[in-house]
Structure 1
Amino acid sequence: MKFKAKSHPYLQLIKRNFSGFVLCLIMMVITHSGFAQQWESQFVKIQSNGRLKYIADKNKNIIPDFSRVGYHQNDKVIPDVKTVIVLSATGDHDQEKIQQAIDDLAKKQPDENGIRGAVLLKKGTYKIPGSLKIATGGIVLRGEGDETKLIASGKGKRKTIMASGSGRANEISGSRIKITDHYVPVGTKSFTVASSKGLKVGDQIMIYRPGTTKWIQDLKMDQIEPGTGTIQWTPADYNLEFERVITSIQGDKITIDNPIVMAMEDQYGGGEIYKYTFEGRIAEVGIENLYLESEYKGDTDEEHGWDAISFNKIENSWIKNVTSRYFGYSCVNLGHDSKQITVMDSKCLAPKSQIIGGRRYSFNNDGQLNLFMGCYASEGRHDYVTGAKVCGPNVFYNCKSENAKADIGPHHRWAMGTLYDNIITDGEINIQDRGNWGTGHGWSGVNQVLWNCTAAKAAVQNPYVSGKNYAIGLKAKKYNGRLKGRPDGIWEGQNKAGLNPQSLYLKQVEESKK
């Protein structure tokens, strides 16, 4: 299979920005597959014309298209933003000087693409005793690679770089419309509403899937075995909202930009749509070419830098070529209101904390339509991970984990529609009922796809209702997971080389550009 990178801007981006590690990984996969007999999944096949064909189940559910995640849904290449301000490390109030440069740039009028410019930090060591805050869009904070060192100095848990807007998504009054289809399957981008009056192509809509008592009962999430602080699931906590854009309207049938990643069923309350605004959300923020390190007192010290980089209330932004070392929680932490973020070619190294819950989530994603690719983590607990009620699609692609202390995968309550593609770990990858772990995590995820991944061992289970989880071409020892008696997930081609396509994500991106 050949990718015509010249005609696909996003594939050019991948080729141009991948670290040496990821390029070596791809070459190893390609070389190895040359000696293995190729095979195809029964769920995603390659037709004679070279395009993918998705095989539906009896309810017309298919594996979703994950191609339109990350910065501007792959429609734009991450820009090379012009440097406007240049700073050098002096050891004299470095944090205040960097913050002032950010604040000064925020006053500059953005260009037609929403870009204000970049602050360049020259090689050197910058002490950051608090947090650097970016609250305005169009600002890039850039270094000169690992020799531009930001040191989270002193005591106290904190985020070293914080990029966040304000406010929240607000429903436009009177815009809520009922979805009339009795069943909206996973993977579809079209459905019928009671009326398309008042809707137009380009509208931002929220797809609303209510939590209901019957759904929770059928999932048995009102029967979690009690533990320390266990909370049974309640309907009000599981009203799910997926951000989408209308791309076509034909009568009362609308088409959206990204697929449904959790089926909507009459028996569980169906679904609705409504238009919304998010006035305070910012965009076009970049963090590039930086090394971040936290001071610490000992291997289990927790009063020091916690997140190297934190994003929230932000969209169409990026983090690339950053390295974190000695932070207690993460290199990158994307909050619930982070959308269409690309995190690439970044490393999370040698975290310092206790090795227990709530620590060492190397690359954490709680938002939607986000992409992590070409990343590396060592000594983390949950290196490529989603949190509670994470509304997909989301993608982790071509990432590696070493010296893992726990597992990769959906970690908390009910993540929906995540692709783990060519992920390699010496730890576990699990998609399971977590039972009373935490405060009663229960089912961690649904419509999760492991594609051509490698792990020491894995548990992949299907929830009782609402979808499936897939292990396709997974090279790992299969085990039962934490709790017995749960339905087995979909396993196909376990420990079998030669899966075609080698990367579902890259193939989907290629097709999206045609």
Structure 2
Amino acid sequence: MSLEQFGKRAGRMIANRMMEYLNDANKAPPIPPRQSFPSQSQAHQAMVASQYPAHQPQYRQQPYPAGHYQQQQQQQQQQPFSVPPPPYEEASPAGGGRADTGNLEALRLPDSHGNTVPDFSRVGYREGHVKIPTVPVQMVVEPSLDPFSDDTARIQGAIDEVGRLPLECVGNDGARIRGAVLLKAGTYRVAGALIINASGVVLRGEGQDDGGTIIVATGNIQRDFILVNGMLQSEMGSVEMQRAKARTREMMPTNGYKGSRKPDTYTQSGVYVAAGSNQIPVLDTNGYNVGDRIVIERPGSDKWISDIGMDKLPPRPGNGSESTQWTAKSFTFRFERKIVAIDQATHTFTVDIPMVMCLDPKYPPARIYDLIHKFPTISDVGVENLRLVSESDPCNPEDESHGWYAVVVDNTINGWVADVTTKHFVSGIFASAWSRYITIQDCSVLYPVSKPTEGGRRYQFNLSGQMGLVKRCFTNKARHDFITLGRVCGPNVFVDSTGVDGNNDTGPHERWAMGVLYDNITCNTINVRQRSWMGSGQGWAGAFHVIYNCTANTNNNCFQDAPGVTNWVVGFKGGMAKKPMFEAPCTRCMSPSLPVEPRSLYWAQLVARMNGDILLVKRNVGAEAKMRYPPRC
């Protein structure tokens, strides 16, 4: 190497180190935003309304014209979409195009083992019947006067300040709140991530439209953006920490259960506990009381995995890569429930939420123990009434050096995401494995920017915890509009929601998700099926699922039942795949192409649980109870 070459290389090295130092010190010169925010004209609003009319269940998608990406860049500011009709319509008049199935008892649809359609009515924030509270504002944050400044620390500081306030009880349902951080209308630029890690804290904006609150995820860090998680520390959202640890296990910590002095008990031998049942016969009820929260742990077993064929997954064709065979250790399922009655004579617990997986006595008995989480969880937390935008490269429609999930909720019991629009993130809103009783409502996940067909991307609404609820939501350009991941214990519900222009499917994605209701969902494709070698061995994707009055706009939908499992497909409108990708028993479809009454299984079950009080349900959690916010000053 010549002296001249050595000097040039050394100069470049010094310049790079100096730039890293400046960036670390937050002294980098202002960089203009990579996405602009053009105002939305009335003509564009009219065009959007004509393309995406109001979540109607009978809506048939229109294909995007050529050059749609260029149109997308010109039409960034899509307003939140209007909501579907109220969920408690009276029965359709005679000739109204619906099949009358009778009452809810007729919709239990037992199979030969007694497995029935579960009661899904206890999902969502505080079991779904409680109105989300309007939390009073405790801190106000104004947009920065510098349009290129980083607002991460200012917003996080306000969240932390409210998180130090004392908790106060509100209402009669156990909610305890601290206060809301109000981000006044305007644009905020966040180069790191925002973390809510204290109970009773809400992050609120002043609207999702052009004149509302817009938080831009700036920079090129692949990270989840708003993290609602009781196990994360606030400083983990800083730019430096995100640059080092974004999307690592440290940013996605796993919880667990710890022991207590209460003795373990087991299910009785020789007794089959059906999916849909809330009666759990046990060996001994001593030490347990009504109101106790318990874990029902169904252990994995080699025999079960062999019986369903998941120890013989074939290699992926083409490249010959081996599939990951399922193992007993990885398929132990833990269901969280509450004891509501005890029959001492028969040693039987009655639990609040039915089982969404059968307990077959030919496999090892289920273990039952006290529910105590190892690590902190938070409650009564929310993100609401704002728009989140990920800054991406406008010249690269497959750019992935930017925000990944817009919102992730984990290690949280009782929370919500409401009236939030996300744009250009790789994926949307995710209630993760250790989330419980989360409601995601009236949200839109729009125009993801990523590789469009590769795995792990464009998961728009993802429920992978327990007792999660997505209602009145909209998405476009997804790979998977409404999705669960693997080993999801359920129940979870997607209701009254729409996805358009998706390039893959809605449904359980992998490895035995249990007890999911898709109710009045409209999208391109819905599958509950055997996935075999796909995704390195995803195998059976879902068990004990219900597809109710859904519409799919393609002719390649597939519903299959794993050994020992029944899924239920009722009132489904869409074409079936003539040759499924993998051979397996087909699910029986009831009332194909003809919706049934009641219009919505979820809403009917919720009203029934509320003793038929439709007005109470409307007032607390129906479309009429959408969250209301003070007008902008």
**Does the Cα contact within 8 Å between 1:168 and 1:313 map onto a contact in 2?**
no
> 1:220-265 deviations in whole A, cap 9, x for unaligned?
1111111235201111110100011111112021111100011001
**Does the Cα contact within 8 Å between 1:190 and 1:253 map onto a contact in 2?**
yes
The correspondence for 2:518, drawn from 387, 410, 420, is 420
1:391-470 paired onto structure 2 within 5 Å? 391-425=489-523, 427-455=524-552, 456-457=554-555, 458-465=557-564, 467-470=565-568
Name the counterpart of 1:8.
none
C-alpha distance 480-53 of structure 1, shift in aligned 2 (>3 A): closer
Larger relative strand fraction: 1
The residue type paired with residue 125 of structure 1 is T
| Per-residue deviation, 1:192 | 1.2
Name the counterpart of 2:82.
21
SS across alignment from 1:96? helix
Name the counterpart of 1:282.
378
The correspondence for 1:99, drawn from 144, 150, 156, is 156
Name the counterpart of 1:348.
445
Name the counterpart of 1:254.
349
C-alpha separation in 2, matches of 1:480 and 1:183 = 35
C-alpha distance 37-71 of structure 1, shift in aligned 2 (>3 A): same
The correspondence for 1:485, drawn from 583, 607, 611, is 583
**Does the Cα contact within 8 Å between 1:434 and 1:482 map onto a contact in 2?**
no
Name the counterpart of 2:324.
231
C-alpha separation in 1, matches of 2:545 and 2:117 = 9
**Does the Cα contact within 8 Å between 2:229 and 2:411 map onto a contact in 1?**
yes
RMSD: 1.9
The residue type paired with residue 131 of structure 2 is V
C-alpha separation in 1, matches of 2:334 and 2:112 = 26
| Per-residue deviation, 1:24 | 4.5
**Does the Cα contact within 8 Å between 1:459 and 1:481 map onto a contact in 2?**
no
Larger radius of gyration: 2
- 2:133 corresponds to 1:71: no
C-alpha separation in 2, matches of 1:478 and 1:171 = 48
| Per-residue deviation, 1:33 | 7.0
Name the counterpart of 1:365.
463
Name the counterpart of 1:387.
485
| Per-residue deviation, 1:175 | 2.6
The residue type paired with residue 311 of structure 1 is V
**Does the Cα contact within 8 Å between 2:508 and 2:541 map onto a contact in 1?**
yes
C-alpha separation in 2, matches of 1:176 and 1:312 = 27
> 1:289-318 deviations in whole A, cap 9, x for unaligned?
010001111210011011110111101000
Name the counterpart of 1:240.
333
The residue type paired with residue 315 of structure 2 is P
C-alpha separation in 2, matches of 1:436 and 1:480 = 20
Name the counterpart of 1:192.
281
Name the counterpart of 2:96.
36
Name the counterpart of 1:291.
387
C-alpha separation in 1, matches of 2:372 and 2:529 = 35
1:104-143 paired onto structure 2 within 5 Å? 104-112=161-169, 113-143=175-205
Name the counterpart of 1:264.
359
Name the counterpart of 1:10.
none
Q: Which runs of 5+ in 2 are unaligned?
A: 1-79, 170-174, 232-254, 612-633
C-alpha separation in 2, matches of 1:154 and 1:118 = 27
**Does the Cα contact within 8 Å between 2:87 and 2:603 map onto a contact in 1?**
no
**Does the Cα contact within 8 Å between 2:81 and 2:444 map onto a contact in 1?**
no
Name the counterpart of 1:170.
258
C-alpha separation in 1, matches of 2:224 and 2:82 = 27
C-alpha distance 430-69 of structure 1, shift in aligned 2 (>3 A): same
C-alpha separation in 1, matches of 2:483 and 2:451 = 19
**Does the Cα contact within 8 Å between 1:200 and 1:249 map onto a contact in 2?**
yes
C-alpha separation in 1, matches of 2:578 and 2:266 = 40
SS across alignment from 1:171? coil
**Does the Cα contact within 8 Å between 2:115 and 2:566 map onto a contact in 1?**
no
Larger relative helix fraction: 2
| Per-residue deviation, 1:494 | 1.0
C-alpha separation in 2, matches of 1:445 and 1:175 = 33
C-alpha separation in 1, matches of 2:437 and 2:571 = 28
The residue type paired with residue 430 of structure 1 is N
C-alpha separation in 1, matches of 2:508 and 2:259 = 28
> 1:156-212 deviations in whole A, cap 9, x for unaligned?
111111010124332335532111152001111112111110001111100111111
The residue type paired with residue 203 of structure 2 is L
The residue type paired with residue 274 of structure 1 is Y
**Does the Cα contact within 8 Å between 2:91 and 2:597 map onto a contact in 1?**
no
Identity %: 35
The residue type paired with residue 333 of structure 2 is L
Using the size of structure 2 for normalisation, the TM-score is 0.74
The residue type paired with residue 104 of structure 1 is E
The correspondence for 2:419, drawn from 321, 334, 337, is 321
The correspondence for 1:86, drawn from 124, 137, 140, is 140
C-alpha distance 359-30 of structure 1, shift in aligned 2 (>3 A): farther
Which is worse superposed, 369-378 or 221-230? 221-230
| Per-residue deviation, 1:55 | 4.0
**Does the Cα contact within 8 Å between 2:165 and 2:178 map onto a contact in 1?**
yes
Name the counterpart of 1:472.
570
C-alpha distance 121-34 of structure 1, shift in aligned 2 (>3 A): farther
Name the counterpart of 2:206.
144
| Per-residue deviation, 1:54 | 2.7
The residue type paired with residue 124 of structure 1 is G
C-alpha distance 238-480 of structure 1, shift in aligned 2 (>3 A): farther
> 1:396-433 deviations in whole A, cap 9, x for unaligned?
000100001100000011000000000001x1100111
C-alpha separation in 1, matches of 2:125 and 2:518 = 18
The residue type paired with residue 292 of structure 1 is L
C-alpha distance 464-170 of structure 1, shift in aligned 2 (>3 A): same
| Per-residue deviation, 1:270 | 2.8
C-alpha distance 273-152 of structure 1, shift in aligned 2 (>3 A): same
SS across alignment from 2:404? strand
Name the counterpart of 2:226.
161
